[in-house]
Amino acid sequence: MRAEVVAVGTELLLGQIVDTNSSWIGEQLARSGIDCHFQTKVGDNLERMVLAMRTALARSDAVLVCGGLGPTQDDITREAIAVVMNVPLVLDEDIVARIRTMFASRGRAMAANNSRQAEVPVGASVIEQRIGTAPGLICPVGQKVIYAMPGVPYEMHEMMDRAILPDLRLRAGDLAVISSRTLRTWGLAESTLAELLEPRIDALAGGGAGVPTIAFLASGIEGIKVRLTVKAASEGAAASALGAEEELVRAVLGDAVFGVDDETMETAVGKLLTEKGWKLGVAESLTGGLMASRVVSVPGASEWFAGAVVAYGTSVKESVLGVPAGPVVSAAAAAAMAEGARDLLKTDVAIATTGVAGPAEQEGNPPGTVFIGICLPGSDAEGVELRLPGDRERVRQMTVISALNLLRLRLNSR
């Protein structure tokens, strides 16, 4: 069974609304073991909508159309489906009565144009609307099917769960599960990851059901994601295959992997600090509180995070953190900031950031020059220099995750 999603709405093409519906539908299809190879967005134009649906039917068994079922003149999904089915629309008086009753229950009169939502292509089955006004449709086209549902997310979710997914599973017969696991990495370019994993990718090629696939997703300041996906007979079989593949990939990538699925860099650092029973203190200059903000977003961070000092000005670095007089954009200054934060906040571990975010150079250092200070128990504080690309905001964001990653690597080595 192959399914395809067609999202309707000119606002989607203009970027006025982000199409979250298609991604949610794709996720639900995968969980049901139904392949989804294409997703299309099309504006509120009858000719183009008909073309999109016919194209989808030519290459898929089921087409899930989302949006365009409202009461206004530009809501023409029903008309487009009727053209594809080559049948007329007929008014369903039972639907009209239900919509009128719903409005009456809210103390309002039904507008005449709401009756458009009761028009049904001949041969289609109606999916009862239980939340809003627009019913959904199940429309057979030969041996294939078009499903139509509202674009309002909570209405669409309810209709998918109650009616469309069960119908799809029934049509699909033997079901499988499509499951993914994402390994999150930092420090290696996408091309390097691909080169390292090329032998494994080649070994998996053409493996079929039960054999995972490997793909890459560049995620900006969150690093490169390595997605493992498998289609298996059950959730248990999928989890087993993904677990085995994860072990093999981790063996190749080593410390470049810092988390799985939704695990962030700060979550990884928090786990390591908790395991060691250590607390973290932070001193920030160019990042101006960004690191502390990311750290406290982790639930339970108070168990391992003591606090932060935003020492933006030179005088604050010297008077509060005890940084010696001299250049403040340097490895020595970063190390001194970390040591000062550890002493001031009475923590076991401390990290610090200083540097030049731009746009102008500072103390002879070009924008993107960053120094990370780190202080661990039983070791002298150290300063590490980085050269980061991008504009001012990107440099600041990348400094945060780079500093946290440096701390993660140091903690792993202890």
DSSP state of 328: S
Domains along the sequence of the chain with CATH? 2-172 (3.40.980.10), 177-260 (3.30.70.2860), 265-413 (3.90.950.20)
Torsions phi, psi of 169, nearest 5?
A: -65, -40
For residues 329 and 60, give the distance between their C-alpha atoms in angstroms, rounded to a whole number: 59
The β-bridge relationship of strands 349-355 and 280-284 is parallel
Cα separation, 241 vs 118, in Å, equals: 47
* Angle formed at CA 22 by CA 261 and CA 173, multiple of 5 degrees: 85
* CA 256 to chain centroid: 20
DSSP assignment of 349-370, as one string? EEEEEEE--SSS-BTTBPTTEE
Sheet holding 257-260, edge to edge: 213-218, 224-232, 177-185, 257-260
pLDDT tens for the chain, 414 residues: list them.
899 999 999 999 999 999 999 999 999 998 888 999 999 999 999 999 999 999 999 999 999 999 999 999 999 999 999 999 999 999 999 999 989 988 888 888 888 888 899 999 999 999 999 888 889 999 999 999 999 999 999 999 999 999 999 999 999 886 778 899 999 999 999 999 999 999 999 999 877 778 999 999 988 888 999 999 998 888 899 999 999 999 999 999 999 999 999 999 999 999 999 999 999 999 999 999 999 999 999 999 999 999 999 999 999 999 999 999 999 999 999 999 999 999 999 999 999 999 999 999 888 999 999 999 999 999 999 999 999 999 999 999 999 999 999 999 999 998
DSSP one-letter code for 76: -
* Predicted structure pTM score: 0.77
Residues 53, 141: Cα–Cα separation, whole Å: 11
